Structure 1
């Protein structure tokens, strides 16, 4: 399943690499290979924006449903079964898809696995000419070669920090109330566990994959800041209308 994804990603990285070679001189501090990974990551994030926008709309809609949800949670706090039924009806009437947030995560997971295969077999998926991969520069600022582990732990730490910030910003749009306590608790647990997992994974994985993850997170942070701002403005406008 992931092999075709790796083939496409490898061709894409190589296409970006060739484009850079043809339009500019290679900088001393950052190789074309590193730039190719960064540019490919940003392009992929832009390509899945339609899916992400759908998730944004759902986040915004959930924020708008908060007053009604809180009323239901207060009214049926001693009747969980009825509360669940009323919540489902509210979601259905508002055309809110509870599972919409899963799709971007699934897409990101497949892309991550695809990149993993690309970077561990670059001569198979990216640079197929014999000896070409070994001949190119692979430096990224202080990292001598991206196909090695970052022994300074700077990149893994940055990956962990951006993972935490992405999760933290996402929890700002999580629904509140007794009916959502379990989901919120799970999200809070993942907010702290995921960065730890990413950091320890970063201690043993090639720096290429950690670079991809970090750049992807930075894009997601700015994206989520935009979503949170939009949700906050909508809430303020709704408050003004009610008042």
Structure 2
């Protein structure tokens, strides 16, 4: 498949499923989890900050880490890649589905609505007692830990931690959408984190087209229909241009 054929496939597709990873948010200045472990945080291992055991051992430390990341994402803005996906959603309407591995909320802020966040969202918290999810207050007004407005229980970051399962409904909805997709886009993800990385094969196994946008070759690349070696925003702009 060449670029012209990839453009035509996307343009003609009635059902489009998209998976995004850290690469699309990098252009908004959002560091990956490990890239954010600088300064004071460099001495901690990931599981010291992002696991149920870490939270049980020292919830204040974990909330300090996530409060800092929350401030960072709220200071960022969606980039052209986020905006182009929101535009594609409006074109495809009910035939569009977006699954993201990112936790920064930038897709929603760009206008995406047919969206699942497989790894949670930094801008929300989940009650440890009743499971209620609600938005965090603005960063300047936020003092962790938040308290549930429904039951008064302590709330934890609404993030899927190491050792936890992805939300079952979101994962099933993603699998169904990719299985039904005429075209799937895999954008800015390394393709090594499963089960999300396996979504592309749901499309391929049913005869659909999978297009990758990534500056680097990934473990998925040899299996896919076409790859654009570019950033998310530039790759999406190239892919959605008319010949």
Structure 1 and Structure 2 fold alike (TM over 0.5): no
Q: 1 or 2 for the larger relative contact order (CA 8 Å, sep ≥6)?
A: 1
Select the structure that is richer in helix: 1
TM-score by length of 2: 0.30
TM-score by length of 1: 0.30
